[in-house]
A and B are shown apart, each in its own frame.
Chain A
């Protein structure tokens, strides 16, 4: 009887949904704004906490050199300034990689699009590839390379999928994604349709990795939200228009804003397995990574979470739990987000995961994660305790309070001062233009955050007035790499509806360093670009770890040259490489302060 009562109660409450399900309204009643999982405690501030925070005594560590380069002419465009719809807000990524194998790192900037362009009513914005000529000169080679995309672009992930020694690019779009095969002559060919990775829907931060150890890279692509352009949710620009009375607009602190992702249907994720003939097959369901709950995926990375030789996979999701997939070695994964501690923050709360940094910040030999989140919420640092366990150490590490007003996107662990400890860079920017009209303590354009790592604790690096770090941008994608071969990591930021920013590292006090380019042995079933490799560098009592990772950051790609800061050390005591096939080699390093190329199975005498 009691069960019948419960059933009756359930049915009673389900009826409205059944009705809605049968006759879906043309426009949803309303949705919760992006980042609905944030704390969002209403508060009024007398000043914005995301702009104008400067320190006159701080040294300049990054110089904005954008206007000295041809990248200054690039303009990102993603929909209209009002940002009425969610797909107008999260683009786009950026990659630093050496596409022409000349030893200098080049730059690829993803562009968005517009609804009019999607309908063929106006010219689509173009992505751009810049060839690094050295000395901060870049040549726009987009036309020749054939990589303008001209679709609503979000992400880029670099991987040499065909093991020919040339870096290829997967570009994730809202629409049909592309796989640009590098032809080796300065041009690319979109082979997505031909090879079976022309993913439709809304593809975000992808990652390449050889999860099954066959020596061929596979591809994971998160999906974000299902959008029907013919049936869009109500938009804030219609609030005061006639006929809009009665519509229940989405709100952020009572102000009408775009809808989503909560309230909008999410999109599953896709794992493409590369077959022996070079084509790909969708194995998402078989592998257990299809995301049947349809969480709002934004960033992903194949990386070794534990000490076995199998590549694991992490996915940062917006407003839903993050997922951690442990590779079982039989072509399938086990999702352990909740038991591992990565799904939620320390208080058991779902957050609005955007960007993802992967790195061993405390030099304990295990990779940790930093995930950026919505404003009114902190970013989260997940410390890897081993045995597939993570602990949220955000506040203990000094990354909590400072990040709360910011809405974070791209994030990377990088050793900007070469002291042997991975620092942290975070790009920020809000999704609602309306925040500038209110005293909510945040802003649409926001300063980036740089944290110095002091033996596992982070301190915000001050921004001298007028310096690059004092500027505010509507930041999204971020890529790190040494663009001028001076041994200091530089940065490129892709800004929403704006020009990008190129940040030259001019930090005065830096230590020695070592760059590693790894080449896997395909005959031993290691991908040639060594994605999935781990390098351990020992100097004195410090043993650092870095991994060759595709993707992560936020829809972006860091240069895959591994960069180790060495502090005062002038020699490497031990260099160990754990290759993708699981084998481990040690190498003698003849000198530091240079980039060396290490090939699997070959000694380093000539490197």
Chain B
């Protein structure tokens, strides 16, 4: 009996610890001063720095201190070719997944040059990965860019289209 109780206690403790870890990784959408503190006012991409559209920026914190930051930029300084493929940036300080595909820590550009896809690029404009976007036709008040909680991760929206970002 004693042995069974010990076993139960160990299992319960493990479960609690696991639950705690999951809770720590749960995403918090940042707002107000917390948001402006982490969003850069400008972003370098393919030879030019461009101002962030601060009204169209969003960030999430995973657990205690892991951040994913995204924003649209004013691409007016770029050629039409770059503007066609690049609309904003994605910064992560820890490994994440985009729709289940891994993305290592770093700073990236992204855009929607391919119909139905969000393409992530390195800072030189080289395509790194493309993930399918999902249309949320019932979203009532879409924004050019925003994040909302999605289970343990977040949805990164561009209008009514979104991808899911989760901590790895």
Contacts and interface: CB of A to CB of B under 8 A. Distances in A.
Interface of A: 1-3, 5-6, 9-10, 12-14, 16-17, 20, 28-33, 36, 42, 248, 250-251, 253-254, 259, 262-263, 293, 321, 338-339, 341, 344, 346-350
A474 B76 CA distance: 25
A251 B79 contact: yes
Interface stretch (B16-24, B44-52, B125-133, B148-156): B44-52
Interface string B127-166: 0000000000001011110000000000001111000000
A349 B159 contact: yes
Main secondary structure of the interface of B (DSSP, over half): mixed
A9 B93 contact: yes
Given A16-B49, A17-B41, A347-B142, 13 more contacts: A1-B65, A2-B66, A6-B69, A9-B91, A14-B40, A16-B44, A30-B77, A31-B77, A251-B79, A263-B77, A293-B55, A349-B144, A350-B144
B42 A2 contact: no
A350 B56 CA distance: 10
Contacts of B75: 32
A56 to B, nearest CB: 39
Query: Which 4 A-B residue pairings sit nearest by Cβ, starting from the closest?
Result: A32-B76, A348-B142, A263-B76, A16-B49
A32 B51 CA distance: 12
Interface in B54-88: 55, 65-67, 69, 74-80, 83-84
A480 B39 CA distance: 47
A5 B49 contact: no
10 contacts: A2-B94, A3-B67, A5-B93, A6-B93, A13-B44, A17-B42, A30-B77, A32-B77, A263-B77, A348-B143
A33 B143 CA distance: 22
Contact of A13 (B43, B80, B159, B160): B43
B107 A13 contact: yes
B67 A2 contact: yes
B74 A32 contact: yes
B155 to A, nearest CB: 13
B105 interface: yes
Contacts of A338: 141, 143
Nearest to A41: B84
Nearest to B43: A13
B76 A262 contact: yes
A254 B55 CA distance: 28
B38 interface: yes
B51 A17 contact: yes
B141 A14 contact: no
B75 to A, nearest CB: 7
B145 to A, nearest CB: 9
Contacts of B42: 13-14, 16-17
A17 B49 contact: yes
B67 A348 contact: no
Interface residues on B, range: 35 or more
Given A2-B66, A14-B42, A248-B77, A348 B144 contact: yes
A339 B146 CA distance: 14
A439 B99 CA distance: 40
B105 A10 contact: no
Main secondary structure of the interface of A (DSSP, over half): loop
A60 B142 CA distance: 42
A29 B91 CA distance: 25
Contacts of B74: 32, 262-263
Interface core residue of A13, A20, A31, A350 (most chain B CB under 10 Å): A13
Interface string B104-140: 0101000000000000000000000000000000010
B76 A250 contact: yes
A348 B40 contact: no
Given A6-B69, A10-B38, A348 B91 contact: no
A17 B52 CA distance: 11
A253 to B, nearest CB: 6
Nearest to A36: B76
B121 to A, nearest CB: 15
A31 B76 contact: yes
Contacts of A347: 142, 159-160
A28 B77 CA distance: 9
A321 B54 CA distance: 13
B54 to A, nearest CB: 8
A1 B94 CA distance: 11
B159 A29 contact: no
Given A14-B42, A338-B143, A350-B144, A254 B80 contact: yes
B49 A20 contact: yes
Contacts of A42: 80, 84
Contacts of B77: 28-32, 248, 263
Contacts of A9: 40, 91, 93, 107
Given A17-B51, A251-B80, A6 B142 contact: no
Contacts of B65: 1-3
A349 B84 CA distance: 16
Nearest to A252: B80
Contacts of A10: 38-40, 91
B166 to A, nearest CB: 16
A253 B94 contact: no
Interface core residue of B41, B51, B93, B160 (most chain A CB under 10 Å): B93
A347 B143 CA distance: 8
Given A17-B49, A263-B77, A321-B55, A2 B93 contact: yes
